Structure 1
């Protein structure tokens, strides 16, 4: 159960970071209203809070988050921007995700 809770937190944090960053992107790069940038900044701040809900230390959490973020970013690009990941995108994301899960979930010698 702890792994599922941890994965949920990683996914929530990733969606907040990508969603907030996307709103800032739209504001600055696609001339959307200023309030989108403000909302994006607020959502990005929430991402920083949610990430602290993990029980592991900062370095290990953020290293793991990087691999999970790669997968989420590709899914976001596919579903929101119409970007179609190719096999190399998928293979690279799978490698990153496997490595990320090894970093956070493998048992450690005490």
Structure 2
């Protein structure tokens, strides 16, 4: 259950961080206004809180692993929201990142 909870938290964090960055992008670069930017800032703040619920107590490990989730999630966001078409190198790179996440977060470790 801990791994499933951790994966769910990574997914929620990705939605908040990527969505928040996208809202700011839309507000500024696409001239949608300050309300979009404000919503993005709030979403980015929520991302910071979600990360604190990860079962592992090590900040550096959580953020390092989340980096891989962010890479893959950003590409997925682009496909779903912006109709971006990743090429095989995008997909290979994202897969490598997710393998890194699995190694960092879920590899068996000696206690202590």
TM bin (shorter chain): over 0.9
Partner of 1:23: 23
Q: Which runs of 5+ in 2 are unaligned?
A: none
Quick one: distance in 1 between partners of 2:93 and 2:2?
A: 26
Partner of 2:3: 3
Partner of 1:39: 39
Establish whether residue 80 from structure 1 lines up as the match of residue 81 from structure 2.
yes
Quick one: distance in 2 between partners of 1:89 and 1:70?
A: 9
TM-score (norm 2): 0.95
Q: Which runs of 5+ in 1 are unaligned?
A: none
RMSD (Å), alpha carbons: 0.7
Q: How many residues align?
A: 110
Partner of 1:59: 60
Runs of 4+ in structure 1 displaced over 4 angstroms? Answer: none
CA shift, 1:104, in A, is: 0.6
Quick one: distance in 2 between partners of 1:101 and 1:62?
A: 13
TM-score (norm 1): 0.97
Quick one: distance in 2 between partners of 1:87 and 1:39?
A: 33
Partner of 1:92: 93
Deviations 1:4-46 (A, max 9, x none): 1000000000110011111111111110021110111011100
